[in-house]
């Protein structure tokens, strides 16, 4: 298995220790991306990535190599400490640069492990935010390790190991899980925007060229009949509204 680690901490302390403990339960090749070292400029909010294509982002030379690494891995770990009750600025800036993937989801076969550490509180809230973000990008299954490490010399390795092993087994199984109804909802919302009377150029091109415009959800993922019907109702509704 090939694993990618995206570290959103500017340091290599508690968050990184949890990453390495989780990694000790996994078998395969590992590549680390430390966002602090990538020196990604702040997102300018220019909307180029959404409106005309991710290659038109002024920082695409920094972002797209990381996206390609996600494409190539079997599973990835994405990590952040809690800063001011949210993710670090490093990770938030990276997420902001990937906003176009909300409109054009693609990681339907990927599994992710979220790692969050805090000296005080907020770890579960931050882990939930990263989870929701990844599911908007199409990620099939997200596991979470969220720990409060303040004042503790030793990590709660049993909690880390338990979740890491679940993540490992799932990645190796290559099983694809049925998405939540909310994931199906947003998929069909974005699909309807791509086929409306005045679609954004990049959206229309992506949905048609990939064939996703003809799918109820990511083609590799099976939906039961209830979710298929739900997907088609949502798509028809938004297509009419748009």
How does residue 155 score in pLDDT terms, banded at 50, 70 and 90? confident
pLDDT computed for residue 80 by the predictor? 98
How does residue 20 score in pLDDT terms, banded at 50, 70 and 90? very high
Report d(CA 98, CA 93) in Å as an integer.
9
Residue the block writes with tokens 């600025």? 89
**pTM score:** 0.95
Would the pLDDT of 154 be above 80?
A: no
Q: HSE (CB half, 13 Å, CA atoms) of 91?
A: 27
pLDDT computed for residue 152 by the predictor? 66
pLDDT computed for residue 177 by the predictor? 98
What single DSSP character describes residue 165? H
Would the pLDDT of 150 be above 80?
A: no
Q: What is the mean pLDDT of residues 68-77?
A: 98
Report d(CA 103, CA 47) in Å as an integer.
12
Kindly give, in sequence order, each residue whose CB lies less than 8 Å from that of residue 164, ignoring residues fewer than 6 positions away.
21, 22, 23, 24, 25, 26, 113, 143, 145
Would the pLDDT of 153 be above 70?
A: no
Would the pLDDT of 30 be above 90?
A: yes
Which ranges of the chain would DSSP assign to H, the alpha helix? Answer: 14-23, 35-38, 48-51, 60-72, 89-97, 100-103, 123-136, 157-173, 181-194, 201-210, 225-241
How does residue 156 score in pLDDT terms, banded at 50, 70 and 90? confident
Q: What is the mean pLDDT of residues 34-47?
A: 98
pLDDT computed for residue 85 by the predictor? 96
Q: What is the mean pLDDT of residues 68-89?
A: 98
Report d(CA 155, CA 146) in Å as an integer.
12
- Round to the nearest angstrom and report the end-to-end CA distance of the chain: 42
pLDDT computed for residue 93 by the predictor? 98
pLDDT computed for residue 73 by the predictor? 98
Q: What is the mean pLDDT of residues 91-108?
A: 98
pLDDT computed for residue 179 by the predictor? 97
- Strand bridging mode 111-118 / 2-7: unpaired
Would the pLDDT of 121 be above 70?
A: yes
Task: Give the distance from CA 240 to its chain's centroid.
Answer: 30
pLDDT computed for residue 88 by the predictor? 98
Mean per-residue pLDDT over the chain, rounded: 96
How does residue 207 score in pLDDT terms, banded at 50, 70 and 90? very high
What single DSSP character describes residue 198? S
Measuring CA to CA, how many Å separate 116 from each of 2, 82, 126, 149?
22, 7, 7, 10
């Amino acid at each position: 298995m090939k694993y990618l680690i995206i570290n959103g901490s500017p340091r290599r302390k508690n968050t990184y220790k949890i990453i390495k403990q989780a990694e000790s339960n996994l078998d395969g090749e590992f590549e680390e991306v430390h966002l602090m070292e990538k020196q990604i400029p702040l997102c300018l909010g220019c909307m180029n990535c959404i409106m005309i294509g991710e290659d038109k982002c002024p920082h695409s030379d920094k972002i797209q190599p990381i996206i390609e690494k996600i494409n190539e891995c079997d599973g990835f770990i994405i990590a952040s400490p809690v800063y001011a009750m949210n993710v670090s600025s490093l990770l938030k800036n990276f997420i902001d640069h990937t906003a176009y993937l909300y409109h054009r989801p693609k990681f339907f076969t990927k599994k992710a492990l979220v790692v969050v550490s805090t000296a005080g509180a907020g770890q579960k809230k931050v882990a939930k935010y990263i989870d929701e973000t990844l599911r908007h990008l199409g990620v099939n299954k997200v596991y979470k390790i969220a720990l409060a490490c303040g004042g503790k010399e030793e990590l709660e390795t049993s909690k880390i190991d338990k979740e890491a092993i679940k993540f490992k087994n799932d990645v190796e199984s290559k099983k694809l899980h049925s998405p939540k109804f909310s994931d199906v909802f947003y998929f069909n919302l974005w699909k309807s925007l791509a086929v409306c009377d005045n679609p954004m150029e990049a959206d229309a091109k992506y949905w048609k060229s990939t064939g996703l415009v003809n799918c109820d959800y990511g083609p590799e993922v099976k939906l039961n009949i209830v979710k298929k019907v739900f997907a088609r109702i949502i798509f028809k509704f938004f297509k009419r509204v748009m």
